[in-house]
Structure 1
Amino acid sequence: MEPTATAENEPSVAPAPGASGLLDGMPRQRGPASIAAPSPPVPVRTARALRPWRLLPTPTGTPFTFTYAAVLVLTSLITAYASPSLLHTLYQASSTDVAHLVQTPVLVLLASALWVAGGITSPYMVVFLLVLTALERRVGGARAAVVFLLGHVLATLATEGTVGLAVLVGHLPDSSLHRLDYGISFGVAAGVGALAGLLTPWLRWPLLALFGGMLVEDLVEFTDPMTNWGHLISLAIGIATWPMVRRRHREGPGAAR
């Protein structure tokens, strides 16, 4: 008589590798450890909120424009409250006329850019704040200063040099060598030209057409042809800086606050 098989002497069947805790007859299931954690939601990049205060200079974000604007406010206050005789003396000493350019060129080129023709309420002061702030945020303070100085210096030398030649050949009187010439308008026009190169085409060309049209209209009126020509020259100088400002714009000037 054969012994009855019991659980003790039945041959044991080893479970299939990796089958622990899985359901028989079902496709292979992932164990608790192999279940991947849900992926974190991908952040959706939203458009930067409009911050109107970024249109104006700040001491940390645009130190060049902010400091320069503070100096212009100070000189504009002097213009508003000083006596006419004192103002005339200050303007004359800062004028980039031919006589001063021959004697002290560096001094008068710098001093003449400390005054705003028309005071703090001048349209060029408003354009200065908006344009130089936008330009400095894109290319940094050093290059914004270079653009401004190129327009201011080169356009001044071009116009006053023409005056000097005209006096030399007898087309203008000797008194033209001492004409008052000061202000920030040449540098501002260069800033407009440079900034246009950093804008999209649908903003760039209307800006140049509008600003350039205003300068041409002033020239046609022939009220101050030397200054009007200087504005057009400085606008062209700003446009000529596009390779420089675009290269710096691609590199990035650093985070602006």
Structure 2
Amino acid sequence: MRLLRPSRAKARPRPWRLLPTPTGTPFTFAYAAVLAVTSCVAAHADPALVRTLQQASSTDVAHLVREPVPVLVASALWVAGGITSPFVLGFLLVLTALERRVGGVRTAAVFLLGHVLATLATEGPVGLAVLAGHLPDSSLHRLDYGISFGVAAGVGALAGLLTPWLRWPLLAGSGGMLLRDLLARTDPLTNWGHLIALAIGVSTWRWVRRAAAA
């Protein structure tokens, strides 16, 4: 007589895996710790000091021309809007999920790719417009910093690793919110940057899929 094997117990849900941990997602965890420190400084330090630090970290045209690498790094150490910004939650969930699938190095590469390329794509036209006389010289010092471009690129990359019934709602929902912000015209340059960064993340699908499969 053939004996039936007992059914395997269902895997227990582990909600803590949605958030970064020192061993499971070291890049996201360490980066989140840095952002927590700078957000604490922004919330409690002297406002004049905070303004000076953020202005020095701004990826405006003037800074990008003089010291592009340091300012691109420094600008990604602050959270625009503070710790309550929705991009903070997006950073934790999206980068954690991405790092668990493709590793810390590739996650950092996706983040930096979106942060750097979207910044250059939005600040470059500003510099050209100033040279052409269409914008005042003060536009060269536009305050611009934060993690949102990198997070948007992470969303785009992560979507390529999900099943279709999760991928397309994520892209539609994220793209819809970014388009709504663009149409509201509150900050057109930043809003365009978010959409560009999302597209940059989508362009990495082949690369992140190979990494996830390996």
Q: Distance in 2 between matches of 1:111 and 1:245?
A: 26
Equivalent in 54, 67, 85 of residue 48 of structure 2 = 85
Q: Distance in 2 between matches of 1:242 and 1:201?
A: 13
**TM-score of the aligned structures, taking structure 2 as reference length:** 0.96
Amino acid of the structure 1 residue aligned with 2:130: V
Instruction: For structure 2, list consecutive stretches of 5 or more residues without a partner in the other structure.
Output: none
After TM superposition, the structure 1 stretch with the greater mean CA deviation from structure 2, 129-138 or 163-172, is 163-172
Q: Compared with structure 1, are the counterparts of its residues 194 and 169 closer, same or farther at alpha carbon in structure 2 (3 Å cutoff)?
A: same
Query: After the TM superposition, which segments of 4 or more aligned residues of structure 1 sit over 2 Å from their partners?
Result: 38-48
**TM-score of the aligned structures, taking structure 1 as reference length:** 0.80
Equivalent in 141, 163, 177 of residue 140 of structure 2 = 177
Note if 1:204 corresponds to 2:174.
no
Aligned to 1:232: 195
Q: Deviations over 1:163-220 (max 9, x none)?
A: 1111111111110000000000000000000000001001100110000000001100
Aligned to 2:124: 161
Note if 1:245 corresponds to 2:208.
yes
Q: Distance in 1 between matches of 2:14 and 2:133?
A: 56
Deviation at 1:121, TM superposition (A): 1.5
Note if 1:114 corresponds to 2:77.
yes
Amino acid of the structure 2 residue aligned with 1:80: A
Q: Deviations over 1:108-147 (max 9, x none)?
A: 0000000001111211001100000000000000000000
SS of alignment partner, residue 183 of structure 1: coil
Equivalent in 15, 34, 50 of residue 52 of structure 1 = 15
Note if 1:105 corresponds to 2:68.
yes
Instruction: For structure 1, list consecutive stretches of 5 or more residues without a partner in the other structure.
Output: 1-37, 252-257
Q: Distance in 2 between matches of 1:232 and 1:106?
A: 23
Could you say which structure has the higher helix fraction? 2
Aligned to 1:73: 36
Rg comparison, structure with higher value: 1
Equivalent in 169, 180, 183 of residue 220 of structure 1 = 183
Q: Distance in 2 between matches of 1:198 and 1:245?
A: 8
Q: Compared with structure 1, are the counterparts of its residues 92 and 40 closer, same or farther at alpha carbon in structure 2 (3 Å cutoff)?
A: farther
Deviation at 1:43, TM superposition (A): 7.5
**Percent of counterpart pairs with the same letter?**
75
RMSD: 1.6
Note if 1:193 corresponds to 2:156.
yes
Q: Deviations over 1:43-96 (max 9, x none)?
A: 855543210100000000000000000000000000010111101100110000
Aligned to 2:96: 133
